[in-house]
Structure 1
Amino acid sequence: MQLSVVIPLLNEQESLQELYNWLTSVLVKEELSYELLFIDDGSTDGSWDAIAQLADSDKRVKGIRFNRNFGKSQALNAGFLAAEGEVVITMDADLQDSPDEIPELYRLITEEDFDLVSGWKKKRYDSVISKNLPSKLFNAAARKTSGLKLHDFNCGLKAYKNEVIKTIDVYGDMHRYIPLLAKNAGFYNITEKPVQHQARKYGETKFGADRFIKGFLDLISIWFITHFAKRPMHLFGTLGVIMFILGGSFAAYLGIDKLFINPTARLLTQRPQFYLSITSMIIGVQLFIAGFIGELIQRSQNNSPRYLIRDKKGF
Structure 2
Amino acid sequence: MNDSLTKIGVFYDGNYFLHVSNYYNYDHARRARLSIAGLHRFIEARVANAEGRPGMAKIVDSHYFRGRLSAQEAQQRGTVLYYDRVFDDILMSSGVTTHYSPIRSNHGRRTEKGIDVWFALEAYESALLRKLDVVVLIASDSDYVPLVRKLQALGCRVVILGWDFEFTTDNGSQMITRTSQDLLEEASHPILMNHIIDDPRSASERDLVDNLFVVGNSDKKRRKSTSDHSTEHAEDDDVELEQPTEGNIGDRMEGEIFSLKNGYGFIKYPPNNLFFHHTTLENADFSELYVNDHVAFTLAHSDRGQLIAIDVKLLEEFEQE
Structure number with higher helix proportion: 1
Range of TM-score over shorter length:
0.3 to 0.5
**TM-score normalised by structure 1 residue count:** 0.32
Higher relative contact order (CA 8 A, sep 6+): 1
- TM-score normalised by L of structure 2: 0.32
